[in-house]
Amino acid sequence: MNVAAARSFLFVPGHRPDRFAKAEAAGADVVVLDLEDAVGAQLKAVARENVRDWLEAGHEAVVRINAAGTPWFGEDAAVASALATAVMVPKAEDPEVLGELSGAAVIPLLETALGIVRSVALCGAPSVIRPAFGSVDLAAELGVDHRSQEALRHARSAVVLAAAATGRPGPIDGVTTALDDEGALTADVEAAITLGFTGKLCIHPRQVAHVNRGCTPSDADVRWARDVLAASADGSVAVLNGQMIDRPVLLRAERILARVATH
């Protein structure tokens, strides 16, 4: 499970172990066993034990734990740090909290105003493998519509910049809550890719194929990248179809082909 290069991250509620295998078979690059938003307070302990059992049986998954400051954080963190492929930390705001996860790979979920403002420090924490963006929670705090690309454009770009500035892979975009609107999902993926995201959180198996397709470079992009590298085989400045090719353009072409090679 290559979390750094994954395109689709499929949530499954931790209190529904009957869905774990179905999620694993849904074609997502990463399954996220959720102990947070999808699980009511009275089921938190049961969900944690379900997740422990699944991971101890040899399955791979990311685990979204409950946030720091909640009654469940400590026990969630202990289980996830020991067994999960990576730990997703919701409402991430403090780099020191990320460092408390006993050497586990961490995905900070940046979904509060303070988390966005501190995004460079959070992404730069040594344990962080890649950041994710939480659109719904942030929109609620800001009093805007989480479906609005314009309202959250600045915040999304801040996460992309923070990831790049700290040498992390392109971040993971938030969920699309419209389960039956393929057009909305497609538009959300395209907008995220335009800003520099390279993956997306999913809340239903039928979203996975669309996200995988949208987060994979298109055939046209791959042809362009190969043509760029061929036109400047020695790394020197060149011209392709009337456009100058220099080092930054070559780097973009190389990144496109590297993303294709991982899937």
Known binding-site residues equal 64, 111, 137
Please say whether the beta carbons of 233 and 205 come within 8 A: no
Question: Alpha-carbon dihedral of residues 25, 47, 185, 7, nearest 10 degrees?
Answer: -60
Can you say which residues are annotated as belonging to the binding site for substrate?
64, 111
Binding-site residues from annotation for Mg(2+): 111, 137
